[in-house]
Each structure stands twice: as C-alpha cells, then as structure tokens.
Amino acid sequence: MRKADINHDIVMPYSWLLNASSCPSRIEAQNLSRVSEFYLMGLSEDPDLQPIIFGLLLSMYLVAVLGNLLIILAVSSDSHLHTPMYFFLSNLSLADIGFISTTVPKMLVNIQTHSRAISYVGCLTQMSLFLIFGCVDAMLLTVMAYDRFVAICKPLHYHVIMNPRLCGLLVLVSFFFGLLESQLHDLVVLQFPYSKSVEIADFFCDPSHIFSLSCSDPLTKNIIMCLVGAIYGVLTLSGIFFSYYKVVSSILRIPSSGGRYKAFSTCGSHLAVVGLFYGTGSGVYFSSEESSVTRKGAVASVMYTVVTPMLNPFIYSLNNRDIRGALRRLRRRTV
C-alpha cells in the first residue's frame, strides 16, 4: 500500500465507511503479516520547535498531575468532604491523571529520543488505556450530574439514595463500561492485515485514526461503532441532559433569587467541566477533512487530552469554597 493511500485512510475518524474498497481482499489479507509498528507524526517536524513543545507539554503535564493529586489528597484527608459529590470528584481526578499519563509521557520520550515509532503492542496498549480513562471520565461526569439531580430535586432523600454502596457501585460501573469500550475497539484493531508501518496523524494512537485503518468486516465495524456510540455518546449525554433538565426545572420553582443562585452555584463547576470535555472532544472528532490529515488535528487533540485534565482541578478549586478550605487545612498540616 502506498503512503498516499495510507494518508487517505486517516482523513476522517469514520472514513472507513467510504473507503472500504481500499482494504485488501480476504485472500490478499491472508498473505500479509500484522503491522509491526506505527509512526506518530507528532505536533511539528521543526527541530527548533521541539524544545518549546517539550517544555510546554512537560509543564502542562506536571500541573495537571499535581492539581489532580491535590484534589484527591484534599478530599481523602478532610472529613467534611467525605460526601458523594467529592467522592466522585476524587475519582474523576484519578481518571484525569490516568487519561493524561497515557499520551503525554510517550510524546515527551519521542521528542527526547528523536523517534516517532511506537510498537504495535505499545500502540494497542496506549489506545486501550486512552479509551478506558476517557470513557470513565464521561461516565463519572454523568454520575456527578445524577448526584446534583438527587441533591437538588430530592434533598430529603439524598443521603438515603446516594448511600456509600450505590456510590461505589456507580464508580465500578464506570470502569466496567470503559473496559468494555476498550475491548470492543481492540477486537477491530486486531484484524489489521497490513505488513508495513503506518503513519498516524497525531501525537498518540488516537482510536479514531487506528480504527479507520482497520480492514475488518464493515458489518462488524458498524455494530461496534453503534455500541461505542451508545455507551460513550448517547448514554452519557442523555443522562447529563435529563439530570440538568430536572435540576433547572426545580431551581426555577425556588421563590427567592438567593436560593436559586445558591442552587445554580453548586452545578457551575460541573457544567464547566462537562462543556470543556465534550466541547473540545467533539471539536476534534468533527473537525474538517483538511485538519484530520495534517497536524492541525493533532494540535486540536491537545485541547481535550492535555488542557482539559489540567484545567479541571482549577475549575473545581477556584469555584468551590469547600475545596479551597480543605486545601488550606492540608497546607497548614503539611507545614
């Protein structure tokens, strides 16, 4: 397969729907060995920009990990924050650490070693972890929306409904759906018939690019994409929209403006994180055809793979009096 054909196959995340004929036939595929490694195009080929990109990514990575670790330490060390909302927040921070650690360290190593290659097993592992933590992020955001729904719409039954057993079960279900989505993608990627290295127009093994290169049965792809779409998109977004529809309806019935403001303020941080996560993610996956075959798509991927996990702790800490107080108490105890 020519290089031009390879680049054409990664034009759009779901370009396989239109390019099924570019895959080898079943007889030809039997004579090909599995792809041995991939080449990550990265963010830039300019040698002068590599130190700047390295420093910027390293700084953002350290800030993201430190910020999310502080959230976890603040919640675990302060008894005032041992509530369902902050339990879910600490798990979201843990998922964000895993999410950003899946992609950025490999990018930093590639810059330092001046190598763009990643092995087949390494790429598959990176893609699997990326899908797991990404899906856990989406599921936890949905669970947190449900938590706000119960707290505002059914305040008298909040502690009965959101009991520790249910909270732990919801977190386990989130990780289960992440693992399920990852395994569904792996089933398709394992069907690669190519015998040469493949270029990926990103700085990590983006599942959409990897998936578009697969030459498995189109019906299998359709089934898996429907399942993944149902889990990752329809299920999570429907849950968030339904929860906040009920929340807004309840808040508008509050007679005092002060009560409405207080109720809205408890949802502000979560809504900001939801908008940042889904806004940047959808912006990448629905980008134009031109940006998907150039490094514009890779630069856009930085927004939801690096910037979003980095900003989440700031959004919750700057707009949350309880978190700020817990961080101050944690700092005093440390000093």
Does residue 237 sit within a domain? yes
Total domains, the chain: 1
Q: Is residue 55 assigned to a domain?
A: yes
179 or 331: which leads in pLDDT: 179
Indicate whether 194 belongs to any domain.
Answer: yes
29 domain-assigned? no
Residue 120 lies in a domain: yes
CATH of the domain at 116: 1.20.1070.10
Mean pLDDT of 17-21: 37
**Is 205 a residue whose pLDDT tops 70?**
yes
64/175 Cα distance (integer angstroms): 21
- Non-local (6+) Cβ contacts of 214 within 8 A are 16, 188, 189, 191, 192, 221
pLDDT in tens, 43-74: 877 788 888 989 999 999 999 999 999 999 98
Reported as a single tens digit per residue, the pLDDT across 162-190 is: 999 999 999 999 999 888 888 877 777 77
* Assessment of whether the complete model's pTM goes beyond 0.75: yes
pLDDT tens string 246-271: 888 888 887 777 777 777 777 878 88
DSSP characters over 16-45: GGT-GGGSPPHHHHHTSPPP-EEEE--S--
Q: Per-residue pLDDT for 297 more than 80?
A: no
- Residue 20: pLDDT over 50: no
Which residues span the domain enclosing 91? Answer: 3-15+36-334
Confirm whether 26 is domain-assigned.
no
* Residue 58 included in any domain: yes
Where residue 119 falls among pLDDT bands split at 50, 70, 90? confident
Q: Is the pLDDT of residue 234 over 80?
A: no
Domain-embedded: residue 74: yes
Inter-residue contact 256 to 307 (CB < 8 Å): no
